[in-house]
């Protein structure tokens, strides 16, 4: 396998936790990675004579906004809507018809995802339905590169596995889809079926889950066999079409809303697990420094604590010094919605292969809704218990290894040889990889899957976090939380001033509910203490 390597800026290694940053002086108030730190009062006054100590001038905030402040969700949606509205629907039909023998067609439906807009086109002559998909250009760093990698990946999967995926009829760039632009597009087969969803999944029968487990294990087993020499994204090989080359690693993380700011390192090919983890850790660190509206100091402290704890766990769970690491092809977002099923829950197809790439074998794991750390599953109080899903999956996989070498290999890779092991390798690694894929979910996944394993299921998180920040060696992180709080306050001020602030009523209700619950629990605790004091023998 040929490898394309691009150089990039050296990122600060984070594997020793943020202690490494502190020892280098990088977490001191003057050297924090965030560029939105409060400026000295003297400089404020120089920029704005009306500014007083501790205040920041309006001119400075405006200057920072143009460089550092992220777009709001409403601004992102507006940009996407403007682009989608600019697509010529007649041109969509013309392009589709051109690649289907010139037959007449019409758009019967459309569906917008995070990174693409899909037009479902029906041909009159044969009543076939195709899907013409266009990348939402404002959301993607390199729309053509993303599409080209996805086409290459899907072609490679079709040639080397029996995994059912949509067949690609045509792809390219067209200058009629959006006036004045050469727009990438892909035309795919439409596969009938329904998308698996969390609600349906959590209320399946044992027989239905078994059907899905078997098919999912077959998919994972076949992907596991596709080994490569490094981590990257598949790109066309001009010399040998059957053997793609590896280009820089493209990811969901580095695009869209989460990727709307400059990363610490540009995408590249990774030849070791340590390089792969280092890139994602640096991106994760930068992600949580982004300002948010209506900031919470406790939220900032919780996020920094979770990051610090995660960085300490990584070298305990992952071998960062393996001499000859293996890399395998993986789907980047194998959530329920990317799985098409029939009424018996057999898998009909796996869709949305964009941002697929090769990853370190150690980080190749089952999807989060199998492993129990998909935050969406927390919303369900009925149906199959979330904690029972992975044991069911594991039991079936162990049974299947008796007749399948691929299943034997998966069991070996995931440390599932012994059911008696309480915390198996895959259970430790899976939440780490999911956080790498979705940095914005750091706190939720950490709380669901890492905190409990590290500190115990009955441990109070607030007490652990408070104890953490009382230690002298963690004062730099406490300062960092304060700086992030100030940055977010300035960001909120900017949004309010420009009419961009949109109150999150749902978040407000959640905060109110949390505060009410805390007060109730405190009243219960005080009442219990009072009863114990009045009648100690009753509680002995």
CA 366 from centre of chain = 15
User: Of 147, 168, 192, which residue sits at a domain end?
Assistant: 192
Transcribe 220-242 into DSSP letters: HHHHHT-EESSB-EEE--SS-TT
Residue 252 included in any domain: yes
Please check whether residue 70 lies inside any domain of the structure.
no
Tens-digit pLDDT profile for residues 328-348: 999 999 999 999 999 999 999
Burial of 529 (0-12, 13-18, 19+ CB in 10 A): exposed
Q: Is 503 exposed, middle or buried (0-12, 13-18, 19+ CB in 10 A)?
A: exposed
| pLDDT: which is higher, 221 or 74 | 221
- What is the predicted pLDDT for the residue at 97? 95
Residue 122 sits in the same domain as residue 231 = no
Answer yes or no: is 2 within a domain.
no
The rounded distance, in Å, linking the Cα atoms of 435 and 186 is: 30
Residues 108 and 202 in one domain: no
Greater confidence (359 vs 124) lies with 359
On whether both 255 and 371 belong to a single domain, the answer is yes
Residues 101 and 209 grouped into a single domain:
no
Q: Which residues span the domain enclosing 198? A: 193-515
Q: Is residue 535 part of a domain?
A: no
| pLDDT higher than 80, residue 519 | no
Judgement on whether residues 234 and 182 belong to the same structural domain of the protein: no
C-alpha neighbours within 13 Å on the C-beta side of residue 452: 13
Pull the structure tokens for residue 93.
């039909």
Q: What is the CATH number of the domain that holds 127?
A: 3.30.200.20
Q: At what angle do helices 461-470 and 297-317 cross, to 10 degrees?
A: 90
Number of neighbours of residue 486 by Cβ within 10 angstroms: 17
Shared-domain flag, residues 412 and 459? yes
Count how many residues are written for the chain: 540
Q: Which pLDDT value is given to residue 258?
A: 44
3-class SS of residue 91? helix
Contacts for 72 with CB less than 8 Å, ≥ 6 apart = 293, 495, 500, 502
Are 181 and 197 contained in the same domain? no
Do 198 and 188 lie in a common domain?
no
C-alpha–C-alpha distance, residues 214 and 407, integer Å: 10
Count the domains in the chain. Answer: 2
In whole angstroms, give the CA distance from residue 59 to residue 57.
5
- pLDDT one-digit tens code per residue, 453-480: 999 888 999 999 999 999 999 999 999 9
Residue 34 lies in a domain: no
**Secondary structure (3-state) at 349:** strand
**If you average pLDDT over every residue of the chain, what do you get?**
84
Structure tokens, 183: 């727009």
Given the DSSP bridges, would you call strands 181-189 and 227-228 parallel, antiparallel or unpaired? Answer: unpaired
**What DSSP string runs through 359-401?**
EEGGG----HHHHT--GGGGG--SSS-HHHHHHHHHHHHHHHT
Task: Evaluate whether 107 touches 82 at the Cβ level (below 8 Å).
Answer: no
Instruction: Give the closest residue to 33 by CA, choosing from 289, 297, 305.
Output: 289
Percent of the chain with pLDDT over 70: 78
- Where does a domain end: 192, 210, 230? 192
Let me know if residue 275 belongs to a domain. Answer: yes
Residues 152 and 289 in one domain: no
**Cα 90 to chain centroid, rounded:** 35
Final residue before a domain boundary, out of 173, 192, 211:
192
For the stretch 178-235, pLDDT in tens is: 999 999 999 999 999 999 998 899 899 999 999 999 999 999 999 999 999 999 999 9
Burial class (CB in 10 A: 0-12, 13-18, 19+), 538: exposed
Question: For 145-158, what is each residue's pLDDT tens digit?
Answer: 999 999 999 999 99
Cβ–Cβ < 8 Å for 25, 474: no
Collapsing DSSP states into helix, strand and coil, what is residue 30?
Answer: coil
Q: Among 60-74, 230-244, 422-436, 496-510, which range has the highest average pLDDT?
A: 230-244
pTM over 0.85: no
Quick one: 497 and 510 in the same domain?
yes
Q: Is residue 17 part of a domain?
A: no
Tell me what pLDDT residue 30 has.
Answer: 39
**Looking at the structure, do residues 347 and 285 belong to the same domain, yes or no?**
yes
CATH number at residue 321: 3.90.1200
Q: Looking at the structure, tell me whether residues 427 and 505 fall in a common domain.
A: yes
Is residue 127 a part of any domain in this protein?
yes
């Amino acid at each position: 396998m040929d490898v394309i390597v691009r150089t990039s800026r050296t990122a600060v290694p984070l594997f020793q936790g943020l202690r490494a940053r502190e020892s280098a002086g990088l977490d001191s108030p003057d050297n924090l990675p965030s560029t939105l730190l409060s400026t000295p009062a003297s400089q404020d006054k120089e920029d704005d004579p009306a500014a007083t100590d501790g205040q920041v001038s309006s001119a400075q905030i405006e200057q920072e906004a143009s460089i550092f402040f992220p777009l709001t969700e409403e601004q992102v949606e507006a940009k996407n809507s403007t682009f989608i509205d600019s697509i010529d629907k007649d041109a969509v039909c013309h392009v589709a018809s051109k690649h289907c023998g010139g037959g007449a067609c019409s758009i019967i439906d459309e569906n917008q995802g995070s990174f693409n807009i899909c037009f479902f086109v029906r041909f009159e002559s044969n009543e076939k339905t195709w899907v013409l998909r266009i990348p939402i250009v404002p959301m993607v760093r390199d729309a053509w590169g993303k599409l080209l990698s996805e086409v290459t990946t899907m072609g490679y999967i079709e040639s080397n596995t029996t995994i059912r995926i949509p067949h690609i009829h045509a792809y390219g760039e067209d200058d009629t889809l959006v006036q004045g632009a050469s727009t990438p597009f892909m035309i795919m087969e439409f596969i009938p079926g329904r998308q698996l969803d969390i609600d349906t999944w959590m209320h399946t029968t044992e027989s239905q889950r078994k059907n899905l487990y078997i098919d999912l294990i077959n998919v994972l087993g076949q992907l596991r066999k596709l080994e490569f020499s490094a981590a990257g994204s598949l790109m066309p090989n001009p010399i040998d079409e059957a053997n793609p080359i590896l280009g820089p690693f493209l990811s969901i993380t580095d695009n869209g809303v989460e990727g709307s700011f400059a990363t610490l390192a540009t995408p590249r090919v990774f030849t070791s697990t340590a390089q792969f983890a280092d890139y994602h850790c640096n991106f994760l660190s930068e992600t949580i420094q982004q300002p948010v509206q209506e900031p919470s100091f406790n939220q900032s402290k919780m996020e920094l604590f979770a990051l610090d704890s995660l960085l300490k766990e990584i070298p305990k769970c992952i071998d960062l010094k393996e001499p000859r690491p293996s890399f395998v092809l993986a789907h980047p977002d194998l959530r329920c919605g990317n799985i098409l099923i029939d009424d018996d829950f057999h898998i009909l197809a796996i869709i949305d292969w964009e941002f697929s790439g090769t990853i370190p074998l150690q980080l190749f794991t089952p999807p989060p809704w199998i492993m129990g750390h998909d935050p969406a599953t927390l919303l369900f109080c009925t149906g199959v218990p979330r904690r029972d899903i992975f044991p069911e999956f594991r039991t079936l996989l162990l049974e299947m290894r008796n007749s399948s070498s691929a299943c034997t290999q998966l069991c070996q890779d995931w440390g599932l040889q012994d059911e008696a092991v309480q915390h198996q390798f895959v259970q430790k690694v899976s939440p780490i990889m999911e956080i790498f894929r979705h940095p914005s979910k750091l706190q939720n996944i950490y709380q669901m899957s890492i905190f409990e394993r590290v500190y115990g299921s009955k441990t109070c998180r607030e007490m652990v976090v408070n104890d953490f920040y009382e230690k002298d060696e963690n004062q730099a992180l406490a300062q960092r939380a304060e700086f992030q709080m100030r940055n977010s306050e300035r960001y909120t001020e900017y949004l309010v001033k420009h009419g961009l602030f949109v109150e999150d009523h749902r978040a407000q209700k959640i905060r109110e509910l949390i505060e009410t619950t805390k007060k109730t629990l405190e009243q219960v605790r005080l009442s219990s203490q009072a009863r114990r004091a009045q009648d100690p023998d009753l509680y002995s």
